[in-house]
Amino acid sequence: MKLSLLVPVYDDQDEVVPFYERALPALEALPGLDSWELLFLNDGSTDATLERILSLRARDPRVKALTLSRNFGYHANIFAGLSHAEADLYAVIHVDCEDPPELLADFLREIRSGSQVAYGIRSQRDEAAPLTWLRGLFYHVNSWVSDSPTILWMAEFVMFTRAVREGVLEPKTTFPFLRTEIAHVGLKAAGVPYARARRRRGRSHYNLYTLTVFAIGGFLASSTFPLRMVLYLAAALGFGVPALALVLRLSLRDTAYLSMVLLFYFCLVSLSMLALYLARTYKNGVGRPLFVVDPGRTHLD
């Protein structure tokens, strides 16, 4: 049995070596594996990230590098790794060690017990309380509006089997979202609680804006509820405006004014929703590759 540990990196030159030094004993202690590889997914880094990876590879051939031609984004980077890695088990972990490599042993134990997916449940985070509340809101709202079952509290610290990997790679979308695709596959999943550590080096590439974009991408990848919401709003306005006019005893002129104002906002909301999904449909129809690998800076052998 072979494990491929996928580690997305982007301008993380100060994180690569400390991560390797911590992950190495955790990987070597995993029981029952015939082999493993540590595959760094270099998302077009502009600093010395690749050089640090290659310095590790010079002394440990199990360290490999997949480099994209430019920065394609976090999920595209992960899907590039899944598309090129050949293994029996796959795991994804962040390079900053906020998610402990030692937890891979617990993931493997769950897999051996019959689960197809084992994922970390972050019981605490070193972040502001409002951000934690918004993150929890995202998980619950996404679970509520999703078209298919979701795995609550699942993030991208996860281990899964080859069968799950094949199911994840089957859709040909230009807007991949790993946790949505894993949940859609529907195979047995087990959560492992843990306390997320504080980042010791480097800086996060996420801020409130990028997290908001990330959340919107998650909603759109898993749900058509915003499109259905347009129908619900139309029905509510169609029945609600006459009823409100009768209750408030509005004149015909006031009813017309109210209808025009509400119609304006309805068009604003509905056209925005339609534009988002139309743009995604257009990009999927164009069919540009999700990622492009830089062969001169990729080392997989």
pLDDT in tens, 132-179: 777 778 778 878 888 887 887 787 899 999 999 999 999 888 888 898
Delimit the domains of the chain by residue range: 2-209+289-297, 225-286
Contacting residues for 80 by C-beta, under 8 A, at least 6 apart: 41, 66, 68, 72, 290, 291, 293
Q: Which two tokens stand for residue 277?
A: 């999904």
pLDDT at residue 66, rounded to an integer: 98
Q: Which two tokens stand for residue 152?
A: 């609550």
The dotted CATH code for 2-209+289-297 is: 3.90.550.10
Give the confidence band of 200 by pLDDT, cuts at 50, 70, 90.
low
Asked if 41 and 83 count as a contact pair (C-beta separation under 8 A), the reply is no
Contacting residues for 261 by C-beta, under 8 A, at least 6 apart: none
pLDDT at residue 217, rounded to an integer: 81
90 alpha carbon, distance to own chain's centre:
15
- Cα 65 from Cα 184, distance rounded (Å): 29
pLDDT at residue 199, rounded to an integer: 64
Most confident of 14-18, 124-128, 174-178, 195-199: 14-18
SS3 80: helix
- Cα 31 from Cα 47, distance rounded (Å): 36
- Cα 162 from Cα 189, distance rounded (Å): 14
Q: Which two tokens stand for residue 137?
A: 């809101």
